[in-house]
């Protein structure tokens, strides 16, 4: 079939790779087979459901909207500053396999074996990209309103066996989609706010889940490109733009600067929250679609699939076939690339002269020699000793055996609420590979504190979540108290290193 997507616009190739990752994130989940229960539903982001959907169809909200800030170039130009807007999404396409009956009719089936190849029914997708044209940035408040339709369609492909005899057919159907895109420009503190909203205006009524997803825009996102103006970062706005940036509102769509680092001409409005100038990891050989799964683990899982499972995955979708084939042909060197890099958090820090190289966050720290010890073993870095290291909190050195009061503030775990105000005993001060400090502790009033300490089941908090307390000898579980491990007469339990968890979970 002929895709509705036009040729990629010139100047957007540098952001298309990351935009495609957004477009297909969650498209198909491991084990990439149509028969897998989790692949019976769509798990993608940016789904704009039909507005007239029955409650039982579980359709998603039909709209999304974003706001971003621009600064008009001060250089004189005959051209009016403007922003081009492109809307990208997937249009679901039903692929129905039908068996040819003796009477000449056709019966829908889950799959057919044709010439030794499995052909399966499945809901695939077609990429759509709509060029909404240019939004003028004349400096005055303005608005545009565009209604665009992506046509539906139906195509039939015959299926023939080894002898050339027709045994069935594949019917592909797409529902027509209608999208409305509105833009509005307003002034705010000397900057220009650009608002963009997208709404699914499908006219039909979706009565069930399948009808709703077929009338949805899937993986919806926006690409904005400025001419004669520059976008401002909303994540790290300049001081003078911070109030205006704080007034920008987002609904299911978050704008970030895209393209080469330092550039300000392109914004990606994504249905997931990203950082400015997002990139695909250079170690990643290709997309896996499986909603933020770790590439290495997922690749190893694909390699363990049986040949029958791989055959079904290949028959499910052409993109699944690419994943299976890529994983099957990876060399040991390719697989090692997925393992990532170990960087030394204690390495030499660049001096003032190093600022000439640009953003220091782009600098690659040197890998360090672990002396043959596993990277996660404290023995790999002689500069740290969790059992004797200390961290300064409110001018007090806190180390193993210190008492602290817990004041959770990070909300990293729902259980933090139960720890608020509790007295705890520090068991170790640890550093992670990124240079962060974590304080391991057990609660003094926990009846199982001794047991947790024995097998290394600790709670981890940041130093700023702890209040140092004076040593007390009347609190069970503290040094010097009878019955406390480490106190004469106490029942000592072996501190086996292999049973201790020395890194924060």
Lowest mean pLDDT among 89-93, 264-268, 455-459: 455-459
Nearest alpha-carbon partner for 219 in 38, 112, 90, 130: 90
Q: Is 471 exposed, middle or buried (0-12, 13-18, 19+ CB in 10 A)?
A: exposed
Give the pLDDT confidence of 7-24 residue by residue, as tens digits.
344 468 879 999 999 999
Q: Say if residues 111 and 120 touch (Cβ distance below 8 Å).
A: yes
Residue 162, SS3 per DSSP:
coil
Dmax (CA) for the chain in angstroms is 92
Lowest mean pLDDT among 197-201, 219-223, 454-458: 454-458
Residue 451, SS3 per DSSP:
helix
Q: DSSP secondary structure string, 254-313?
A: EEEE-SSTT--SEEEEESS---SS----TT--S---STT--HHHHHHHHHTS-HHHHHHH
Q: What span, in angstroms and rounded, lies between the C-alpha atoms of 230 and 222?
A: 17
Residue 348, SS3 per DSSP:
coil
Lowest mean pLDDT among 208-217, 348-357, 493-502: 493-502
pLDDT at 269: 98
User: Rounded to the nearest 5°, which phi and psi values hold at 313?
Assistant: -65, -40
Give the pLDDT confidence of 406-420 residue by residue, as tens digits.
999 876 677 777 889
Q: What span, in angstroms and rounded, lies between the C-alpha atoms of 93 and 125?
A: 5
pLDDT at 144: 94
In order of 289, 350, 399, the CA distances from 376 in angstroms are 29, 25, 21
Nearest alpha-carbon partner for 180 in 91, 87, 300: 87
Residue 6 has pLDDT above 70, yes or no: no
Residue 165, SS3 per DSSP:
coil
How distant is the alpha carbon of residue 45 from its chain centre?
A: 10
Residue 237 has pLDDT above 80, yes or no: yes
Lowest mean pLDDT among 62-66, 133-137, 367-371, 433-437: 367-371
pLDDT at 114: 95
Q: Say if residues 418 and 446 touch (Cβ distance below 8 Å).
A: no
Q: What span, in angstroms and rounded, lies between the C-alpha atoms of 243 and 232?
A: 12
Q: Which of 249-263, 382-396, 429-443 has the highest mean pLDDT?
A: 249-263
Q: What span, in angstroms and rounded, lies between the C-alpha atoms of 128 and 244?
A: 33
Q: Say if residues 198 and 65 touch (Cβ distance below 8 Å).
A: yes
SS (H, E, C) 74-115: CCCCCCCCEEEEEEEEEEEEEEEEEEECCCCCEEEECEEEEC
Q: Say if residues 88 and 223 touch (Cβ distance below 8 Å).
A: yes
Give the pLDDT confidence of 119-169 residue by residue, as tens digits.
999 999 999 999 999 999 976 678 999 999 999 999 999 999 999 999 999
Tokens 């009808």, located at residue: 211
pLDDT at 266: 96
DSSP 8-state class, residue 204: S
Give the pLDDT confidence of 260-317 residue by residue, as tens digits.
999 999 999 999 999 999 998 888 899 999 866 788 999 999 999 999 999 999 999 9
Residue 352, SS3 per DSSP:
helix
Tokens 């043959």, located at residue: 372
Q: Say if residues 241 and 252 touch (Cβ distance below 8 Å).
A: no
Mean pLDDT of all residues in the chain?
84
Residue 108 has pLDDT above 70, yes or no: yes
Q: Say if residues 63 and 197 touch (Cβ distance below 8 Å).
A: yes
Q: Say if residues 70 and 3 touch (Cβ distance below 8 Å).
A: no
Residue 180, SS3 per DSSP:
strand
Residue 321 has pLDDT above 90, yes or no: yes
Residue 343 has pLDDT above 60, yes or no: no
- For the chain, the helix, strand and coil percentages under 3-state DSSP, each to the nearest 5: 20, 30, 50
Within 10 Å of residue 140's Cβ, how many Cβ atoms?
9
Helix axis angle for 295-303 and 318-328, nearest 10°, is 90
Residue 479 has pLDDT above 80, yes or no: no
Residue 241, SS3 per DSSP:
helix
Task: Give the pLDDT band of residue 2 (cuts 50, 70, 90).
Answer: very low
Q: Which of 217-231, 273-287, 337-351, 375-389 has the highest mean pLDDT?
A: 217-231
Count CA atoms closer than 13 A to 65's CA, side-chain side. 14
pLDDT at 471: 72
User: Rounded to the nearest 5°, which phi and psi values hold at 106?
Assistant: -130, 140
Q: What span, in angstroms and rounded, lies between the C-alpha atoms of 103 and 120?
A: 23
Q: What is the Cα gyration radius of the chain?
A: 29
Q: Say if residues 221 and 19 touch (Cβ distance below 8 Å).
A: yes
Q: Which residue has the higher pLDDT, 159 or 484?
A: 159
How distant is the alpha carbon of residue 433 from its chain centre?
A: 22
Q: Which two tokens stand for residue 104?
A: 């000449």
Q: What span, in angstroms and rounded, lies between the C-alpha atoms of 505 and 495?
A: 19
Q: Which two tokens stand for residue 371?
A: 């002396």
**Pairing verdict, β 437-443 and 459-461:** antiparallel
Q: Which residue has the higher pLDDT, 356 or 462?
A: 462
DSSP 8-state class, residue 55: G
Residue 359 has pLDDT above 60, yes or no: no
pLDDT at 490: 37
In order of 42, 45, 82, 141, 293, the CA distances from 25 in angstroms are 11, 7, 30, 36, 10
The pLDDT of 224-230, averaged and rounded, is: 94
pLDDT at 324: 97
Q: Which of 101-110, 377-386, 423-432 has the highest mean pLDDT?
A: 101-110
Residue 81 has pLDDT above 70, yes or no: yes
The pLDDT of 356-380, averaged and rounded, is: 56
Nearest alpha-carbon partner for 444 in 421, 476, 469, 467: 476
Q: Which of 8-12, 166-170, 386-390, 486-490 has the highest mean pLDDT?
A: 166-170
């Amino acid at each position: 079939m002929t895709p509705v997507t036009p040729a990629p616009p010139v100047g957007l190739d540098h952001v298309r790779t990351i935009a495609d990752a957004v477009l297909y994130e969650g498209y198909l989940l491991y084990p990439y087979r149509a028969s897998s229960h989790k692949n019976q539903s769509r798990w993608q982001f940016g789904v704009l459901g039909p507005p007239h959907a029955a409650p039982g169809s579980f359709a998603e909200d039909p709209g999304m909207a974003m706001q971003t800030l621009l600064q008009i170039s001060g250089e004189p130009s005959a051209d009016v500053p403007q922003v081009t807007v492109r809307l990208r999404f997937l249009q679901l396409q039903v692929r129905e396999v039908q068996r040819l009956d003796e009477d000449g009719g056709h019966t829908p089936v889950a799959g057919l074996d044709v010439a030794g190849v499995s052909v399966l029914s499945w809901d695939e997708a077609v990429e759509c990209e709509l060029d909404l044209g240019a939004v003028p940035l004349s400096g005055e408040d303005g608005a545009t309103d565009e209604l665009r339709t992506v046509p539906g369609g139906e195509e039939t492909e015959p299926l023939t066996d080894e002898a050339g005899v027709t045994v069935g057919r594949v019917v592909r159907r797409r529902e027509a989609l209608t999208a409305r895109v509105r833009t509005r420009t307003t002034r705010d503190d000397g900057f220009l706010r650009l608002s963009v909203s997208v709404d699914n205006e499908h006219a039909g009524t979706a009565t069930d889940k399948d009808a709703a997803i077929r009338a949805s825009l899937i993986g919806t996102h926006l690409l904005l490109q400025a001419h004669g103006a520059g976008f401002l970062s909303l994540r790290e706005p300049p001081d003078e733009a911070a109030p205006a940036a704080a007034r920008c509102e987002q609904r299911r769509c978050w704008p970030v600067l895209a393209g080469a680092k330092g550039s300000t001409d392109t914004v990606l409005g994504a249905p997931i929250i990203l950082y400015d100038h997002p990139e695909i990891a250079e170690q990643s050989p290709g997309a896996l679609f499986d909603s933020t799964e770790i590439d290495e683990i997922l690749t190893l899982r694909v390699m363990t699939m049986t040949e029958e499972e791989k055959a079904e995955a290949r028959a499910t979708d052409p993109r699944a076939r690419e994943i299976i084939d890529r994983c099957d042909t990876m060399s040991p060197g390719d697989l090692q690339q997925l393992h990532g890099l170990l960087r030394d958090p204690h390495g030499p820090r660049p001096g003032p002269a190093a600022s000439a190289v640009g953003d220091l966050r782009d600098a690659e720290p040197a890998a360090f020699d672990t002396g043959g010890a596993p990277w996660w073993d404290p023995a790999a870095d002689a500069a740290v000793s969790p059992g004797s290291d200390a961290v300064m909190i409110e001018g007090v050195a806190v180390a193993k055996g210190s008492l602290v009061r817990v004041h959770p503030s990070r909300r990293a775990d729902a259980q933090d609420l139960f720890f608020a105000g509790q007295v705890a005993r520090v068991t170790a001060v640890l550093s992670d590979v990124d240079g962060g400090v974590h304080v391991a502790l057990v609660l003094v009033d926990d009846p199982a504190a001794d047991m947790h300490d024995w097998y290394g089941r600790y709670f981890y908090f940041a130093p700023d979540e702890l209040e140092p307390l004076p040593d007390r000898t009347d609190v069970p579980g503290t040094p010097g108290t009878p019955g406390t491990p480490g106190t004469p007469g106490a029942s000592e339990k072996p501190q086996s290193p292999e049973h201790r968890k020395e890194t924060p979970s």
